[in-house]
Amino acid sequence: MNVKALTFLLFPLAASAQGFAGLGTDADGFAVPKPDPVFDFPADHGPHPDYRIEWWYLTANLQAEDGTPYGLQWTLFRSALAPEAGEGWTAPQLWMGHAAVTTPDAHFVTERLARGGVGQAGVTADPFAAWIDDWQLAGRFDALTMTASGPDFAYDMDLTATGPLIFHGADGYSVKSASGQASYYYSQPFYEVAGTLTLPSGEVAVTGNAWLDREWSSQPLAEDQEGWDWFSLSFEDGTKLMGFLLRQTDGSAYSSATWIDAESTTAYGDGAFSARPLAMAKVAGREIPTSWQVTLPDRGVDVTVTAIYDGAWMETSVPYWEGPVTVSGSHQGKGYLEMTGYE
Amino acid sequence: MLLNATDIHKTFQTADGPFAVLRGVSLTLAAGDTLALTGESGSGKSTLLHLIGGLDVPDQGQIMLDGVDIAALDDTGRAALRRGTVGVVFQQFNLIPSLRVIDNIAFQARLAGQHDAAWCAELADRMGLKPQLRKYPEQLSGGQQQRVAIARTLAPKPKLVLADEPTGNLDEATAEVVLSLMLDLVSETQAGLLMVTHSDRLAGRMVRRLHLARGQVA
Amino acid sequence: MTGAVFAALTSHWWRNPLQLFTLLAGLALATALWSGVQAVNAEARASYDAAAATLGEGQFDQLLAEGGGPIPQATYIALRRAGWLVSPVVEGRLNGVRIVGQDPLTAPGGLGPVTLDQGADIGAFLSGQGQIFGTQEALDQLGDIDADPVLSPDVAPGTVITDIGVAQRLLNQPDQINRLLIAPRQPLIQTALEQAAPDLRRQPAQGGSDIGRLTGSFHLNLTAFGLLSFAVGIFIVNGAIGLAFEQRRPVVRTLRALGVPLPRLIALMAVELMLMALLAGVAGVMLGYLIASLLLPDVAATLRGLYGADVAGTLQLRPVWWLSGLAIAMGGTAMAAGGAFWRLARMPLLAGAAPRALAMAAGRRAVLQGVAAIILLIAALLLGITGNGLLAGFAMLACLLIGAALALPLLLDRVLALLQLRAGEVRAAWFWADTRQQLPGLSLALMALLLAMAANVGVSTMVSSFRLTFTGFLDQRLASELYVTARTPQEAAALQSYVAPKVEAILPIQSAEAQIAGFPTEVFGARDHATYREGWTFLTAAPTPWDDLAAGEAILINEQLARRSGLAVGDIVTLGATPLTIAATYGDYGNPIGQVIITEPLFARLYPSETPLRFGLRMDPAAVPDLVQSLAKDLSLPPDQTINQARIKQFSLDVFDRTFTVTTALNVLTLAVAGFAILMSLLTLAAMRVPQLAPAWAMGMTRAQLGRFELIRAVLLAVLTAMAALPLGLALAWALLAIVNVAAFGWKLPMFLFPLDYLRLLVFALIAAALAALWPAWRLSRTPPSDLLKVFSNER
């Protein structure tokens, strides 16, 4: 049994009607998100073992002093075999870490897997620490240090939040399909970042902005949803847009978006946000849309979103595309694009 | 007319160069008619018989058999012809050594899809093969083997029977008996008979006679 | 029509059961030979792979507790958090079964042979109850334990694999780990190992050990033999099919004359043949299985010896054998029948034209065959001279074998023509002419005999050369009577002073890693001692290599490094900053990487931190057991830290003797099959022989004489074939040793000649040929005179 086959089971990427990464499977025994959530911080920054799947998902748009753009990803996934925390090797909590750095002409990615219950990986809420092996995201939630290391790259970053937490959907209850599948979903999109990237070509000092997503659920996708296209865009005027499409097997899509400006946060339900592929690239043997037309007419947004590097393929146990993008059109800016379920 | 062959030519390649075996032979045969084909060795009589039987194709000429130009047929067509319309009695008998006499007799009729058990039994009886039905060809004398071969040829009731020196391997007395049987049965079934022989005596038993010399009708 | 034709076709076999038997037996034997060899190969390989993967030791560096004993689980977590990609292994015995517990999420090689399919319950594997994977025997022996047994035939014998949590529970080792596997790719940034886990020592991967690589070579030998047996098998299938067609040619002609269309006839015969091939294939696979299971205890012993790992002594009939065996039978039949059908389709319908046409066709075929043979042999020669690489090696083998097989009938024909010319006496002249006439009918069988013999000569040469090299290598490398390994530098010091008065010499074995000419290389520091001076033989050397070495100015390098770097004696390499002249190159069989030897003082200067822990002790062999005992008593050095050289050597030789048993058995089998092909050919020819022999009989030769001639003829043809097979076999061995082995492993095996072996093979071949000819000859001598007379009476 190789690790690949194993994680296929734990985080199964099903080409079938199971939805991406098994997220469409039944929620049996697990808790299910309910509307009108009441969050409890800092406890909710920590894990929710009663739910099947959860992530701490950080992406950053960085820039070197010479202006070269970089993308960075630090992600910790939790996947539960059973709705309990447990102790020791038999604890049913499994962890998967993904770290990546994207440059204009290269993409570095690495993966870690661990069992919960023996201390190799986990998350504590207070003080906040999320770790797998030597990778760590820790500190106060508004002032974090972040490290990761792979065979060909490493990074060490300091993050400082300059704004509040943002709650998506209905106060953090984010509906994912017409039949009501949902997750708890909030973000901290206001991190400022500074640190060092270690690349094969040497060390690079970088600064920029990061966006941290927190999401947990037990069955966030409907069975007929095969993957998603997720955009987190930061415009030069300080406004931000998070939007996603959940692609359905019949070719239609379910969309959702959050508009963030200095005063307020506005949630948009299905249909308000749209994204249309403009150009495809051959990546890892698949056709992947790496250029999109993204619109949110209600806010006058009509932009072209283009990948900085087309080959930002996450060749991990559950493969997907994740990389930095530039934004042009009605708004200028940058952001991150995630595309899953492309076979 | 059952058989109408016109201007048949056939040349073989030999070590000494091309050899024209048949040079414009024509013949006709009606149903119920019997014809002896005589000539020296190498006169082309066996070759003519083979061409009429669809075992080989002429270089030139037309062979109309029961209204079909067999020279124009392909391999499969000629095979079908050999199964049903024509029956050939070979000098070497050409029985199937691994089949019993009874199965050898029925074999060609089965191939042609015209097996008639009663007729086969009658043939065997008339040929005096009844005690031999369960034997294999190798356990039979030459005369008996040829009688099996004749019975096999007649079993599907062919319209034309071709015989290539059918008694060539038999002693005189046996030859006489076998030939009589064949003639009787052919006339009963109203088939045409074309027999190659180098024996004047045997040829005399046929209604007509055609003598070949150097590939032409003499 | 179909029914009648099929009945006629099949009736042939019922009337001629002997022909049916030879066809089926030929097909079955060819399949058996091939599938038997494959089975032995596959089973040995599968068992070894399972063992190696299960042990996980060959492939990865490991961390072990400095003083032996368990590692706290906390140390594992600390290492992971320090950036070390290590994976825990818990190991122990329960009811005599070795339990291996691993963490599937971090294990660098996964769980080896254990696969959890998508349907499997991963939750169950990782959960507290757990699943335990093993062979039926291992699970039975383990008995009723608190985990779900899962049958997994590929797990090494006597071993079960389970999750680490389950293993800790079953072995009652909570929070304890026995060793840590180090993943080959580590992150860019990590804490130094000494700092992260000071109590652990790193043990390098053993995958590149001498024995491991010799094993690879041994496997390659088996594969080569498998390919050869395949070639022999195909020839035999071809022969059997060709003969079957020859036998039925008259019937086919009659059927066509009676009006059966040719396509129908061919289709029916093809169906009939494929049914037979299927039947024979099934029988052949089972026969091969039987042969393999008879051979397997030896193979298993061989491998157990080589690997020191358990190889199941039983055989499991895998689906792939069925498939490959049936593919051989049916594919070989289809190939052979294709040619036969082609000839059949072109066969003139009228018998009269046949002999001349056939003779002409045969003439053309002979010319074509000759041209093809010459082209192939020239290609083989060119490949042999210029080619390097595995592909070229195998291509050369193929060209050589096929070319030689095609050339054989022509060669024999020429030789016989010459003998006929030289024969003074009329009966001898007749004998040679008659033999020549027989040749076409026998040529396929003789080709099979040629290939079988050449394969045997080749494989015998290779295996024997291998053995000689190996024993020489053992003598050189395991010169000391006793090898002792200390666990700590302190123990090493104590050991040295303890044994000094009891032995003739202490030879420290110390090594370090270095890069030489860009290649990773092990550097050994050798003490200047007669053991080396007298025991070592070099491939190439300066006049006084050991003196140069002792002076600290020279270096000895192994063949692998020399081949890869292009370095030769007299060249200068730098180690550290020290320039050293290459004084000699030496054979280092089995080692995948470069190795060099420098003198002990230089080694100490270059690698001051390396303290030798292993020592070779030169001493009276008789005193070895006593010393091992007193070491255990006085220094509490466990016996497994000492290696009795004599024991190793004897063991290794035993291993190779077993290899011989297998090789000999396979030799006898191939020859038996080739002999059978001769028998089939002779039986088929027997019917045709009567008309050929009748005149000779009529002219005054007795039947007994004729029978004797038949026997002599078969033996003679076998002798001539054997004479051709010897050089072919030697060329084969040369290609395997000098081209294929170099390409595969980077070292050349010296080739030795074994005339006695060849003689024995010749005798075997003659016996096979004589046995094959005996019955047909006897039958001939008993031919009733009436049958012979019939020839004259029947002839027109």
For C45-60, what is each residue's pLDDT tens digit? Answer: 555 555 555 444 456 7
Q: If you ran DSSP here, which 8-state letter would residue B158 be given?
A: -
Interchain CB distance below 8 Å, C259 and B84? yes
Task: Report whether pLDDT(A12) > 60.
Answer: no
**Up-side HSE of residue C4: CA atoms within 13 Å toward CB?**
22
Tell me, yes or no, if C556 comes closer than 8 A to chain B by beta carbon: no
pLDDT digit string (tens) for C6-15?
Answer: 888 888 888 8
Q: With pLDDT > 90 as the criterion, what percentage of chain C qualifies?
A: 4
Check: CB of residue A275 under 8 Å from CB of residue A292. Answer: yes
- Give the number of domains in chain A: 1
Other residues' Cβ atoms within 10 Å of the Cβ of residue C355: 10
State whether residue C127 sits within 8 Å of chain A by CB.
yes
* HEC-encoded secondary structure of A174-193: EECCCCCCEEEEEEEEEEEE
What is the reported pLDDT for C196? Answer: 86
Distance CA C62, CA C205 (A): 7
Please, which pLDDT band fits residue A58 given cuts at 50, 70 and 90?
A: very high
The minimal CB distance from A3 to the residues C104, C126, C190 is found for: C104
Q: Which residues of C touch B169 (CB under 8 A)?
A: 796
> Looking at residue B151, which CATH number applies to its domain?
3.40.50.300
**What's the pLDDT band for C109 if we cut at 50, 70, 90?**
low
Paired tokens of C232: 């022999």
ipTM value of the model? Answer: 0.91
Task: Establish if B160 belongs to a structural domain.
Answer: yes
User: 3-class DSSP state for residue A45?
Assistant: helix
- With contact defined as 3+ CB pairs under 8 Å, the chains touching B are C
Alpha helices in chain A, H assignment, sequence order? 3-10
Strands across the sheet containing C159-163? C148-151, C131-134, C159-163, C97-102, C86-94, C179-182, C61-65, C200-203
pLDDT band at A100 (very low <50, low <70, confident <90, very high): very high
C-alpha–C-alpha distance, residues A291 and A277, integer Å: 6
The answer to whether position B177 is within a domain reads yes
pLDDT tens-digit map of C336-391: 788 778 877 877 766 544 444 445 556 677 788 888 888 988 888 888 777 667 67
Q: Is residue A101 part of a domain?
A: yes
pLDDT band at A23 (very low <50, low <70, confident <90, very high): low
Chains touching A (at least 3 CB pairs under 8 A) are C
Nearest chain A Cα distance for residue C84, angstroms:
8
Give the residue numbers spanning the domain of B42.
31-57+72-217
State the CB neighbour count (10 A cutoff) for residue C717.
23
In a domain, A267, yes or no: yes
Q: Is the Cβ–Cβ distance between A248 and A224 less than 8 Å?
A: yes
Q: DSSP assignment of C97-158, as one string?
A: EEEEEE-TTT-TTTTTT----TTS-HHHHHSSS-EEEE-HHHHHHH-S-SSEEEE-TTSPTT
Please enumerate in sequence order all residues whose Cβ is within 8 A of that of C69, keeping only pairs 6 or more positions apart, or say none. none
A56 token code pair: 């701490």
**Which span out of A9-23, A40-54, C405-419, C535-549 was modeled with the highest average pLDDT?**
A40-54
| pLDDT class of A279 with cuts at 50, 70, 90 | very high
What is the Cα gyration radius of chain C?
A: 33
- Helix axes C755-781 and C645-698, enclosed angle (nearest 10): 30
CB pairs under 8 A between A and C: 93
Assess contact for B187 and B19: CB atoms under 8 A: no
Asked whether the beta carbons of residue A134 and residue C83 sit closer than 8 angstroms, the reply is yes
User: Does residue A200 sit within a domain?
Assistant: yes
Fill in the amino acid letter for C704. A
Contact residues, chain A, for C155 at CB < 8 Å: none
Residue A33 in any domain: the answer is no
CATH of the domain at A149: 2.40.370.10
Using the beta-carbon criterion (under 8 Å), do C81 and A120 form an inter-chain contact?
yes
**Range C518-535 average pLDDT:** 81
CA closest to C111 among chain A residues: A1
* Euclidean distance between the first and the last CA atom of chain C, given in angstroms as a whole number: 34
Work out the mean pLDDT of chain A and round it to a whole number. Answer: 88
- Those residues whose C-beta lies under 8 Å from the C-beta of residue C315, and which sit 6 or more positions away, are C39, C43, C289, C292, C293, C296
- State the DSSP string of C762-782: HHHHHHHHHHHHHHHHHHHHT
**What pLDDT shows up at residue C551?**
87
Could you give the CA distance from residue C66 to residue C478 in angstroms, rounded to a whole number?
A: 27
Residue type, A73: Q
- Tell whether A31 is covered by a domain: no
- What integer pLDDT is reported at residue C316 of this predicted model? 57
Contact assessment for residue A278 and residue A293, using Cβ atoms and an 8 Å cutoff: yes
- Band of residue C711 on the pLDDT scale cut at 50, 70, 90: confident
Partner B contacted by C257 (CB < 8 A):
yes
Is the residue at B101 inside a domain? yes
- Write the residue in B15, B107, B112 that is nearest to C8 by C-beta: B107
Distance in Å, alpha carbon of C724 to nearest chain B alpha carbon: 36
A199 touches chain C (CB under 8 A): no
Would residue A204 count as lying in a domain?
yes
- B108-117, C543-552, C646-655: least confident range: C646-655
On the CB side of C112, how many CA atoms lie within 13 Å of its CA?
Answer: 31
A185-199, C213-227, C468-482: which has the minimum mean pLDDT? C213-227
Take residue A264 and report the two structure tokens written for it. Answer: 């307020």
**Domain span holding position A185:** 41-339
How many other CB atoms are there within 10 angstroms of residue B23's CB atom? Answer: 16
Nearest to A134 among C81, C111, C128 (CB): C81
Residue C537 is classified by DSSP as -
Contact residues, C window 187-226, toward A, CB-based 8 Å cutoff: 187-190
Structure tokens belonging to residue B5: 């062959």
* Residue C785 CB neighbours (<10 A): 11
Would you say residue B166 lies in a domain?
Answer: yes
Dist. CA A113–CA A96, nearest whole Å: 5
- CA separation for the pair B62, B4 (Å, rounded): 8
The values of phi and psi at residue A266, to 5°, are: -120, 130
Residue B15 placed within a domain = no
Cis peptide bond prior to A92, omega within 30° of 0: no
Round to whole Å and give the CA distance between C581 and C555.
6
**Is-above-0.95 flag for pTM?**
no
Q: Which residues of A touch C186 (CB under 8 A)?
A: 151
> In whole numbers, what is the pLDDT of chain C averaged over residues?
77
C-alpha to C-alpha distance for C673 and C665, rounded to whole angstroms: 12
Arithmetic mean of pLDDT, C770-791? 77
Please list the helix, strand and coil fractions of chain A in percent, rounded to the nearest 5, in that order.
5, 55, 40
Q: Is the peptide bond before C70 cis (omega within 30 degrees of 0)?
A: no
DSSP track, C307-362: HSS---SS----HHHHHHHHHHHHHHHHHHHHHHHHHHHHS-SSGGGHHHHHHHHH
Does B11 map to a domain? no
Is the CB of residue C5 less than 8 Å away from at least one CB of chain B? yes
Q: Can you name the residues that pair with A195 across neighbouring β-strands?
A: A157, A206
Cβ-based contacts of C165 with chain A (< 8 Å):
88-90
User: Cβ B111–C16 below 8 Å, yes or no?
Assistant: no
Q: SS3 for C534?
A: helix
**Distance from A120 to chain C by nearest Cα, in Å?**
6
Q: Under an 8 A CB cutoff, do B111 and C356 touch?
A: no
Say whether C5 and B96 touch across the interface (CB within 8 A). Answer: no
The DSSP call for residue C593 is S
| Contact criterion met (CB < 8 Å) for A94 and C128 | no
What does R_g of chain A's alpha carbons equal in angstroms?
19
**What is the rounded radius of gyration, in angstroms, for the C-alpha atoms of chain B?**
17
Establish if B36 belongs to a structural domain.
yes
Q: Check contact A-B (3+ Cβ pairs < 8 Å).
A: no
Q: Angle CA(C586)–CA(C591)–CA(C595) in degrees, nearest 5?
A: 55
Query: Are the beta carbons of B83 and C259 separated by less than 8 Å?
Result: yes
- Contacting chains of C (3 CB pairs or more, <8 Å) are A, B
Q: What are phi and psi of C749, to 5 degrees?
A: -90, 130
Interface test with C, best of A89, A108, A204, A318 (most C CBs within 10 A): A89
Among A185-189, C151-155, C262-266, C669-673, the range with the most confident prediction by mean pLDDT is A185-189
* d(C-alpha C518, C-alpha C495), whole Å: 37
Q: Which residues of A touch C185 (CB under 8 A)?
A: 151
Question: What's the average model confidence in pLDDT over B9-16?
Answer: 81
Q: Identify which of B140, B139, B109 has the alpha carbon closest to the alpha carbon of residue B123.
A: B109
Q: Report if residue A10 sits inside a domain.
A: no
Residue C670: both structure tokens together = 């191939």
Task: With beta carbons under 8 A apart, name residues in chain C contacting A5.
Answer: 110, 115-116
**By C-alpha distance, which of B17, B50, B57, B24 is closest to B214?**
B24
Nearest to C747 by CA among C596, C595, C597, C591: C591
The first and second tokens of residue C513, run together, are: 């890693």
A12 contacts in C (CB within 8 Å)? 118
Angle between helices C210-257 and C390-422 (to 10 degrees): 50
Instruction: For residue B82, give the nearest of C3, C259, C796 by CB distance.
Output: C259
**Structural domain count of chain B:** 1
Q: How far apart are CA C387 and CA C385, in angstroms?
A: 6
- Mapped onto helix, strand or coil, the DSSP state of residue A335 is strand
Backbone angles phi, psi at C218, to 5 degrees: -60, -40
Asked if C260 reaches chain B (Cβ–Cβ under 8 Å), the answer is yes
CB contact under 8 A, C81 and A2: no
User: On the CB side of C116, how many CA atoms lie within 13 Å of its CA?
Assistant: 25
B116 lies in a domain? yes
DSSP state of C754: -
Q: Is A115 on the interface with C (CB under 8 A)?
A: yes
